[in-house]
Amino acid sequence: MRKALYLMGILDDEDVEWLGKSGTSRYLPSGTILIREGVPIEDIYVVLDGKLSLMVGDGQKEIAPLYPGEILGEISFVDSRPPSASVVTALDSHVLVISRALLSNRLSADTAFSARFYKAVATVLADRLRKNVSYLGYGKHKESQDPDELDEALMDGASVGAARFDRLIKLLRIN
């Protein structure tokens, strides 16, 4: 749920409400391919419940499990290139689907939302990069630092983010 804490902690209440009202909740049974490696996508997703798997090599190798709060498709949204991995549901799941066109229009029309959204995406990507660099053993790794631990600078927004994520779930009537 950490990614949702980052995203929802940076966005404001109105932003989260807009996401909930503008996006659609989609149920995905286990085994559904949500994103196919190399195939352009037109949406971004937020995992609301369930479990998905990030896969590479034509779905042959899982590189990461994905849980509620994960954001999917954000890299392709930012750079407009096809995804470099596939995403398949490991369990029955629900995702929030937000269309690229709708989100792009809102980002163009509302500069404050745009700033918060891109800061949230940058924070998620920075966290992922730090985790991957640590995992791959580049540089010095602090043994005492848990790679899944929330960054101290983001802790203030974490509880607010958790409350906003819960409100989003209720708005969409998931669970």
Residue 71's domain is classified under what CATH number? Answer: 2.60.120.10
Q: Is 175 within the bounds of a domain?
A: no
User: Which among 97, 73, 113 has a CA at the least distance from the CA of 23?
Assistant: 97
Our count of domains for the chain comes to 1
d(C-alpha 120, C-alpha 7), whole Å: 5
> Per-residue confidence at 159, pLDDT binned at 50, 70, 90?
confident
pLDDT tens per residue across span 55-69: 998 767 898 899 998
Q: List the Cα angle 111/6/20 in 5-degree steps.
A: 65
pLDDT tens per residue across span 66-113: 999 889 999 999 999 999 999 999 999 999 999 999 999 999 999 999
Q: Is 88 within the bounds of a domain?
A: yes
pTM: 0.84
Beta strands 24-28 and 52-56: pairing type? unpaired
d(C-alpha 68, C-alpha 142), whole Å: 28
Q: Is 41 within the bounds of a domain?
A: yes
Of 160 and 155, the structure prediction assigns the larger pLDDT to 160
Count CB neighbours of 140 within 10 A.
7
pLDDT tens per residue across span 108-127: 999 999 999 999 999 888 88
Q: Is 60 within the bounds of a domain?
A: yes
pLDDT of amino acid 117:
94
Domain carrying residue 30? 2-138+146-170
Q: Is 109 within the bounds of a domain?
A: yes
**Percent of the chain with pLDDT strictly greater than 90:** 58
What sign has the CA pseudo-torsion 65, 66, 67, 69?
positive
